Amino acid sequence: MSDTGTHDAQSCIVVIFGASGDLTRRKLAPALYNLARERLLPDRTVLIGYGRTEMTDQQFRSRLHQAVAEFSHTQPLDEAVWDSLAGRVFYQRGAYDEAAGYRGLQRRLRELDGQLGTGGNRIFYMSIPPSVVLPVLHSLRDAGALTRRRRCDEAGQGCLRVVFEKPFGRDLESARRLNAEIDGLLEECQVFRMDHYLGKETVQNISVLRFANSIFEHVWRSESVRYVRVTVAETIGVEDRGGYFDQTGILRDILQNHVLQLLTLVTMEPPASLDADAIRDEKAKVLRCLRRLEGEEVRRSVVRGQYDGGVVDGREVPAYRDEPGVEPDSLTETFVALRTYIDNWRWAGVPIYLCAGKRLAERLTEVAVEFKGVPRVLFGAMEGVELRANRLVLRIQPDEGVSLRFVSKVPGLKMELRNVEMDFPYGSAFPAASPEAYERLLLDVMAGRSALFARRDEVELAWEFATTILEQWEKEPPPDFPNYKPGTWGPISSEAFFAEDTVYDSVVGPHPTA
Ligand SMILES: NC(=O)c1ccc[n+]([C@@H]2O[C@H](COP(=O)([O-])OP(=O)(O)OC[C@H]3O[C@@H](n4cnc5c(N)ncnc54)[C@H](OP(=O)(O)O)[C@@H]3O)[C@@H](O)[C@H]2O)c1
């Protein structure tokens, strides 16, 4: 959710640090191309790639051309659009911590400002590993390219914004340190902490569903809701990211950011306006009230797992510990499921289930809100009828949509009841293809809209929640890894754990309609 206009994106020079990398190829270049194709990219937008890799402007252009042809969600590639964009694509070679590279970059920025009229507007995109972020910021500062600015001048010139990719820190302390460093260099309004889930259409629709429809708000509270569950499940393993993931784990990689961001959107109070800070104030309040799990509570309310090897769909898949880049005795978790609570008036006593995992039975990201059942006076006693409570599921990906489960009479002379789903599939309801998250987010950075980016306090509060669990895990390493088979819904212990609430099947994995 954010303010609506797209026309206020400003012409600027986007400098991508680490432009030879995977993110530029898969996401950033295709996003810029698709914005140009939709005529949403301001005419004079310039892209400069920066990195250590030796490349000419022409080689960089060819590389991006190939990337767009391979990864753009719109196909075939429109060569005329590409050509118009390619003329404004450049590459600057340089080390991340040496002044010479930045002097060259500054020269180029000034030249291009003069030639193409980009008004001194800059976006610095940190598409580099976290260890390189501070050296880049310091070098930019030393080169005079990084200045604190509360706002652009009146003609919309001289904007400077910096985009930070995840991971943003690896625990509360490191996130605080990084934020403090950034705070010393930039105003918060210049800082864009990326969580690409927030750019997804279906995630933006969570707020629309809640606050543009009157029927949900009355039941969106503890009196009516039995539990809220956020699931991010993947069928794939760590693929070629074993080295990175083994240092990270699923709690840091997915739950601390994507899962908690989804939770805040589903549970926050209506914001006073669509202003970025009004929205982020409400999200931060949820995170402040999210019950921290510490000590013994971690053992009771958190399940962690690591996948074993096995056969999925007739294909042999390796155990996590046998993946390239992973330590053979790794204790890194590839699955986490937990139960906590939001201790405020709206959600008091409602279990909040959060789950994320790899090599699970199905690929899905969804939010489920299950409502309390009826007293069952009329139908509950009938033989063979198992009524299930109403449940609203917001499907984020794939198969984006919204479905509501309710009970219906089966046509016929007998009083037979069945659970049915009322489904709203995004894809067929709206024929136009949804833009990719990075398109929306890049455009928002160009317009200075920060509602879809995490604010400093949100990030630190989310780390506060994750860090108490990580600390407890460090004290008590898991005795039983690997502990779940690929292609399942996680460790058996999570089944037993959630069975206490008799909602396991709803908590981890979807459950049958009938
Ligand atoms: N890829 C994704 O889909 C994705 C998704 C979410 C978040 N992210 C985040 O976005 C950032 C960029 O992702 P990426 O996949 O593009 O990363 P990457 O391919 O590993 O690295 C990007 C570039 O950074 C430079 N680099 C790599 N390791 C370095 C090191 N140790 N020291 C100095 N420079 C180094 C390299 O460029 P040169 O050698 O040319 O300097 C490399 O091409 C990362 O922070 C990542 O966590 C990525």
Name beta bridge partners: 317: 310
241-274 pLDDT tens trace: 999 999 999 999 999 999 999 999 999 999 999 9
* 233 and 147 fall within a common domain: no
Answer whether residue 209 is part of any domain.
yes
Answer whether residue 437 is part of any domain.
no
Among protein residues, the one with the nearest Cα to ligand 1's atom 22 is 21
Query: Would you say 182 and 245 are in contact if contact means Cβ atoms under 8 Å apart?
Result: no
Answer whether residue 177 is part of any domain.
no
Kindly give, in sequence order, each residue whose CB lies less than 8 Å from that of residue 498, ignoring residues fewer than 6 positions away.
Answer: 337, 339, 353, 504, 507, 508
CA 304 to chain centre: 21
* 311 and 205 fall within a common domain: yes
323-362 pLDDT tens trace: 999 999 999 999 999 999 999 999 999 999 999 999 999 9
Is the minimum distance from the CB of 258 to ligand 1 under 6 angstroms?
no
Residues taking part in catalysis: 258
CA pair distance 96, 17, nearest whole angstrom: 8
Answer whether residue 460 is part of any domain.
yes
* 321 and 211 fall within a common domain: yes
* 157 and 284 fall within a common domain: no
* 153 and 67 fall within a common domain: yes
* 362 and 265 fall within a common domain: yes
* 308 and 260 fall within a common domain: yes
Answer whether residue 2 is part of any domain.
no
Number of structural domains found in the chain: 2
CATH of the domain at 276: 3.30.360.10
Ligand 1 atom showing the smallest separation from residue 52 Cα = 41
* 206 and 159 fall within a common domain: no
CA pair distance 55, 458, nearest whole angstrom: 39
**Domain boundary residue among 146, 165, 184?**
165
* 205 and 151 fall within a common domain: no
**Which of 128, 438, 442 for mutating ligand 1's site (highest number of atoms within 8 Å of CB)?**
128
CATH of the domain at 87: 3.40.50.720
Token reading at 487:
């292609």
**Domain boundary residue among 116, 150, 165?**
165
Structural domain boundaries enclosing 221: 200-371+455-505
CA pair distance 384, 111, nearest whole angstrom: 77
* 138 and 212 fall within a common domain: no
**Which of 26, 127, 193 for mutating ligand 1's site (highest number of atoms within 8 Å of CB)?**
127
Give the distance (Å) from ligand 1 centre to CA of residue 126. Answer: 9
- pLDDT of 444 reads 94
CA pair distance 420, 401, nearest whole angstrom: 16
pLDDT at 501 over 60: no
If one counts every other C-beta atom within 10 angstroms of the C-beta of residue 475, the result is 8
Answer whether residue 295 is part of any domain.
yes
Using CA atoms of 299, 302, 307, 312 in order, give the dihedral in degrees to the nearest 10. Answer: 130
* 157 and 220 fall within a common domain: no
CA pair distance 338, 476, nearest whole angstrom: 17
Answer whether residue 182 is part of any domain.
no
Answer whether residue 406 is part of any domain.
no
10-23 pLDDT tens trace: 789 999 999 999 99
Per the prediction, the chain carries an average pLDDT of: 90
Of 17, 120, 40, 161, whose CA–CA distance to 453 is shortest?
Answer: 161
CA pair distance 201, 398, nearest whole angstrom: 12
Give the distance (Å) from ligand 1 centre to CA of residue 240. Answer: 13
Give the distance (Å) from ligand 1 centre to CA of residue 273. Answer: 36
**Domain boundary residue among 165, 191, 219?**
165
Give the distance (Å) from ligand 1 centre to CA of residue 127. Answer: 6
* 329 and 253 fall within a common domain: yes
